[in-house]
Structure 1
């Protein structure tokens, strides 16, 4: 195991101001922590033969911005974070390649557009599962990864590498409170508390709603992660999921009136 290389990767992330970074070894995909699990074709070692480790980074979605969702404000933040994720993982892969470890970045989405998802609602790699296996958090009822720092208000991307980097432990506790706010707040009923934990998000309904919002330039929806009470970011911004400050509601109403259709 290469502890020095891991320290160097973490230092690179620090220089790029990446707040979340963890590592999973590829063997974890072969020993599913829960069922149902993904087909082997979606394993990192199937996508990049010779892979030994997956480095997962996370960037936060600022809570006051997503509180306005769906809106042009969240839409623009989402695009900005996506661009940064692609740039940072490309740079990390290049950093490893320069040190003799064949590596590739995986784009943050891995699908062409929302219209594509309507016909085939699966990306070629799951950063959510990679984040789970790297110990960044646990799955919530809304089928997103909840982190202690930001709840589900995080976007992830990954680097697949042949380097054998020491893996981080899985997150030791379940962060989901089962409050069901995400279920009850979903505007298209894409979540079902009766199916949890074996059920999945109704991807078709979610994608159709995103396509509708996309035509208004206010996608993605973001409501299920907006209402989640988990995350230290709520303490940082003094935001309560239980009782919304009227000033925040006023801000949301203002932002939603402009910039979109």
Structure 2
């Protein structure tokens, strides 16, 4: 069964795949895995190499590279889930790269499910100094999606070797010093810089708009800021900083 799943996934063009038991998912900040599927016994993690276009100096080209990857990953996850249901009569819960996700004031900046911790548990890498996953072939230039299932699958061997070379380039190239404390990312600093057109910025804009004169309101609606906020509202999160990824030398050749 497991070999059939692996072959199906790789034949979709997915770059790597790993397996883990439900109990191997260990992330105290996100929800317990059985909240997504009460019958969960295992999960499968699909790895996708990031396109070289994601490191373009053009913000729009880089973002579109990640959006393309997200669409492709969502399709592969869906096809894999259908395969599990149709072939093995499995129950599944797919966990995508990004939104939608729950928005809670007591859990700001914390995902419902950690793809990073899932990937580590499934033998697809180790944590680097930047707190991202370092894959043995693709380095930091890799994204993951997960599929939780009630199938009992044999876990992939975990990687024991430290794949990070500890050059500290990610730390030194972080524009807001969000990686100063080893083993921890200052999420507030990171997201404020990486998501300049997020919900907080939107609230600030409309607060300013409400207090403005009619003429000032017209100017606000013609502004670049409003244009980007409007776009973000339609296409979702727009990350505008990938320095920690772009500065990492591990896996550069494989990632391009």
Q: TM-score, normalised by structure 2?
A: 0.77
Which residue number corresponds to residue 218 of structure 2?
none
Which residue number corresponds to residue 176 of structure 2?
188
Contact persistence 1:213–1:220 (CA under 8 A): no
Rounded Cα–Cα distance in structure 1 between residues aligned with 2:3 and 2:113: 26
Q: Are positions 1:211 and 2:195 aligned together?
A: yes
Q: Which structure has the bigger radius of gyration?
A: 2
Residues 56-105 of structure 1 deviation map (CA, whole Å, 9 limit, x = unaligned): 00111123x23325611110011111111111111111111112111121
Return closer, same or farther for 1:26/1:87 CA change in 2, 3 Å cut-off: same
Cα deviation, residue 213, structure 1? 6.3
Q: Which of 135, 141, 145 is residue 153 of structure 1 equivalent to? A: 141
Higher relative contact order (CA 8 A, sep 6+): 1
Which residue number corresponds to residue 254 of structure 1?
none
Which residue number corresponds to residue 222 of structure 1?
242
Cα deviation, residue 235, structure 1? 5.9
Return closer, same or farther for 1:219/1:69 CA change in 2, 3 Å cut-off: farther
Residues 115-158 of structure 1 deviation map (CA, whole Å, 9 limit, x = unaligned): 989x8211100011000000100001111100121111111100
Runs (4 or more) in structure 1 with deviation over 3 Å come to 110-113, 213-218
Which residue number corresponds to residue 135 of structure 1?
123
Deviates more, 1:80-89 or 1:217-226: 217-226
* Structure 1 unaligned residues grouped into runs of 5+: 238-261
Return closer, same or farther for 1:170/1:210 CA change in 2, 3 Å cut-off: same
Which residue number corresponds to residue 92 of structure 1?
80
Contact persistence 2:42–2:152 (CA under 8 A): yes
Rounded Cα–Cα distance in structure 1 between residues aligned with 2:197 and 2:18: 33
* Structure 2 unaligned residues grouped into runs of 5+: 199-224, 232-237
